Amino acid sequence: MAYKVAILMGSPNDGDKMAPAAATLERYGIEADVRVMSAHRSPAVVAGFVSGAREAGYSVIICGAGMAAHLAGAASAHTTLPVIGVPLSGGAINGWDSLLATVQMPKGIPVATVAVDGAMNAALLAVQILAIADPDLVEALEAHREEMVPR
């Protein structure tokens, strides 16, 4: 089955920190569509893209943002697709601000949140979500876990 995951970043400067998400998804044969859009500078663009994401064939949305980090919350407010937030390091308190902004969502607007700069884990979580209904992804995830066992 073909899957498509959107990877949204608040700034082009976030590309290096979010690159592991795209690489991990591609390892599992999942299309990663990487886009830059800001919850603060272009909120209408975020709302428009995310509200049509399901109809456009996306299955999961991964959002990486730093400092105020409202991108994942803004995305979640406009879709019922799973949204995974990646708080990014930087700023005055090196990612703690973005972690708290990402994880502290109001009731009814969930954002699954991974560690600061945890783009790879965000992608793996997306794969696990998709694997609920895909035995081939389950096998691939199990093989990956086996590869990680120290020998």
The domain of 70 spans: 4-148
Question: Would you place residue 92 in the very low, low, confident or very high pLDDT band (cuts 50, 70, 90)?
Answer: confident
- Phi/psi at 27 (5° precision): -60, -30
Q: Which residue's structure tokens are 């793996």? A: 124
Residue type, 33: D
Q: The domain spanning residue 122 has which CATH number?
A: 3.40.50.1970
- How many domains are there within the chain? 1
Beta-carbon-side half-sphere exposure of residue 104 (alpha carbons within 13 Å) = 8
Task: Compute the average pLDDT of residues 37-48.
Answer: 96
Task: Compute the average pLDDT of residues 119-137.
Answer: 98
What integer pLDDT is reported at residue 30 of this predicted model?
A: 98
Is the predicted pLDDT of residue 1 greater than 80, yes or no? no
Q: Bigger pLDDT: 151 or 121?
A: 121
What integer pLDDT is reported at residue 49 of this predicted model?
A: 98
